[in-house]
Each structure stands twice: as structure tokens, then as C-alpha cells.
Amino acid sequence: MKSIVYLLIVFVLASCSSHSTQSKNEIDKQLKSLNFFEAKRELETSKTKLLKQDYLYFSGIINNAFNKNAESLNNFQELLEDYGPKLSDSLKAKVLQTQLNLYLKIFEYKKGSLVGEELIKHYSKVLKPSILNDIRNTLDICRILKQIPNQIITKNEDDVVVLPIVRDKANLQRIPVRISNIEKNMIFDSGANLSLMSDSFAKKVGVTKLKGTINVGTGTDDVKVSLGVVKSMYLGSILFENIIFLIFPDAMLYSAEIDYSMDAIIGYPVMSQLGEFTIDNINNQFIIPIEPELTGVSNFALNELNLLVLATHKNDSLLFHFDSGSDRTSLFNRYYLKHKSEIDNLQLKTEQINLQGAGSTKQIDSYSIPDFDIQFTSKKIHFNSIDLYLEEVSEYDGRIGQDIISNMKKLTMNFDKMIIKVE
């Protein structure tokens, strides 16, 4: 009888261990492919199956992706305090890397410096060279900014802010922003990790460059730029303080081909602190409510400071970078690799297209895919043709650009609940 009970216990424990491993592997698989949406669903259904340390680790990663910053930091703190000695160096490195990006995201630059220095000092050997370079660059940003106060926002409690949207000659949307009593129509770019301005505009509004430079990817190359701090900036009656701007040489933001300058861009840090906003393309208005109003299930996420959305093509879920600073939607090399045989069978002609970056242009090979449909939120969108980049330019399946965004009657983004709603 004792042997039967013993065997039963062993069977139950083995079964639980198997379920835990399966759930862990599935979540890990989804995270490696950057599908935070499926990873979140799997985590919610597998909470009781996972070991506590695995649950804390995955929760920290996923909470960060859905902008639950305090929860993510708490998950990691508990993980390191309770299970630190048991964790592998590679897992500790991933935790610290996520914390570093979190502290940059919430403007805690000094804490980011400390985490980044620990990461470089103790865990460099377990990091790929490309990841290590990214970490060093983020650490450089935090070091340069470690004496700078947090960015803060002050809203008038009784004031819904409505700003006019104008389109420039590149068909990008701009809204009026006021710095040092100078009003400027700035590009509002969901694809910009940080806000940026030209050197001449920085001088015009009295922004001083901080000591040190960082590497910035421009879409075609990496360049060294300076950082500057705008002490105060207004969007209507909304006051921002201590806003970080990348400061580029004027020539890098200018296109002689169309005599056009991207002299000032508002990026993710400002956008997310608004909480919620609506782009009304019918009335050309940018509307910021007093309090976030959208409710529902999260349908966009963050990979570091890149906005990600899911779209579908036929039965395939596609991960797109949501980039309002890009003029058109494109497919990337990741999509091609997943559907290579199907696409190759179309026997399409290879074309050269120009990939524009700050101050430079790069030619890459591409295909033009005919008659392509995607389902984005509640909308089905048809492309007579869509560019497919054959060279690796991104880790995503593609990019959502202005050709989709500007054709929506209204688009609302809520950064508290990570919801996009389109009409």
C-alpha cells in the first residue's frame, strides 16, 4: 500500500513538473518572437502551473511590455531578493537589461546608471555583442542625464486640450508646441524613441547641449548626437518639464530632394505621459482628454520604446512597428523568411528602393507584393501593392505608417491600458 501511495505521489509531481515546463517553454517561445500578447495570455492561464521564480520573471518582462512599470520593478525586486542566488547569469542579465530600459522609460536616470554599470561589470560575457552595444548606449544616455530631474507633466484639471493638426510636404502630421515663448509645429512621431530637434532650432529656443554623445540608429546608419534638456514646453495648456531632446546637426534632418527639414519631432516620452490622445483626421484635430477614457483589452505593447501592434493576414498574426513618422506601411525581412517559399513562387522582380534616414539614404532590395490585405484592430485594409524589404532592417514583420493612420477617421491611443481604437 505504501509503495502505491509513493508511486502516486511521484506521478503527480512529475505531471506538475511537466505542465510547468510546457508553460514555461511556451511563454519563453512567445517572448523570443516578441509576441507579448500571446505571452501575456499564456501567463494568465498558467499562473498556477509555473514555479514562483518563473512567474515573477515572466510577469516582470510582460508588465514592462504593457507599460505597467511599477509592477514590473516590483516583480524583479522580489525575484532578485528571493531567488537571486539560484538564477543563471543569463537570466540575471535579462532582468537587469529590462530594469535599465525601465528606468530610462520612467526618467530615473541615476538608477538606470547604477543598473547599467552592474550589468556591464558582471554580465558582459553572457551578452551578444549587438545587445552589449545597445546596453552601453543606453547606459551612456543615463550617465549623461543622471543629474537631470524626472520629466513631469502638469494638466489643467478642467481643460480638454484640442490642437490643430497640419500636414507638411512629407505628409507627416504636426501639432503646435511652445518652447521659450516660440511656437513651432512639430512632427508627432510614435516611431521616435526620444524627441529630437535640429541644432539651429535648439539654439533658437535656448537649449544647451549636455556633455557627451550617444549613438543613434537613423534607419540607415548609426550616428553620434548630443542630448539637450528643455526646461519647459507646452502643448496647449499642458506643461511638460525637463524634456530630453536628441540634438542633430541640421544637415542630418534635411532632405535636399524635396527641400524639407524634420527640424523638431515629439517622440514616445512625451506621447506616453499624455496618457491618452485622439487623432481626428476628419476635423484635423489632436485631442487630449482630462483623464484617459478608453477601456478594454490591451492591443499594443512596447519592445523597449518601440510601439508594437498585432495585425493579421489570412490566418497569420503579424507583429508591426506602429510608426506615425513613416509615410507608408511596409513588410520586413522577418515576414519574408516566414513565407519564403510562397513568396518565391510568385517570381517577383527585385526592385531597389530608397530607405530614408536622418541625413542619409540607403538603397535596399525589395519586392512589391500585389493585392495584400491585413486586419488591423477592427479595420480590414487592402493594399494594391505593398513593399517587402528583403534585407534585414528590423526584428518585426513590418511597419504601420501614415498611409493607414491618416485614412482612419479617428485613432485613439491610451498608454495607461495600452489600447488603440480606430474608427
| Domains, the chain, ordered by start | 21-145 (1.25.40.10), 152-288 (2.40.70.10), 300-422 (2.40.70.10)
> What span, in angstroms and rounded, lies between the C-alpha atoms of 359 and 197?
13
Strands 182-188 and 264-266: parallel
User: What's the length of the chain?
Assistant: 423
Q: Residues 115-171: pLDDT tens digits?
A: 999 999 999 999 999 999 999 999 999 999 999 999 999 998 788 999 999 999 888
Beta strands in 281-418 (DSSP E): 285-288, 300-303, 306-313, 316-322, 330-331, 351-357, 360-376, 379-389, 398-400, 410-414
Banded model confidence at residue 358, pLDDT cuts 50, 70, 90: low
Say if residues 364 and 291 touch (Cβ distance below 8 Å): no
Provide the grid cell at 415. Answer: 498608454
Residues in a beta bridge with 154 = 239
> What span, in angstroms and rounded, lies between the C-alpha atoms of 281 and 52?
47
pLDDT at 280: 97
pLDDT at 18: 56
Count of other CB atoms within 10 angstroms of residue 82: 12
Q: Residues 191-209: pLDDT tens digits?
A: 899 999 999 999 999 998 9
Count of other CB atoms within 10 angstroms of residue 118: 15
> What span, in angstroms and rounded, lies between the C-alpha atoms of 334 and 336?
5
Banded model confidence at residue 293, pLDDT cuts 50, 70, 90: confident
Average pLDDT, the chain: 91
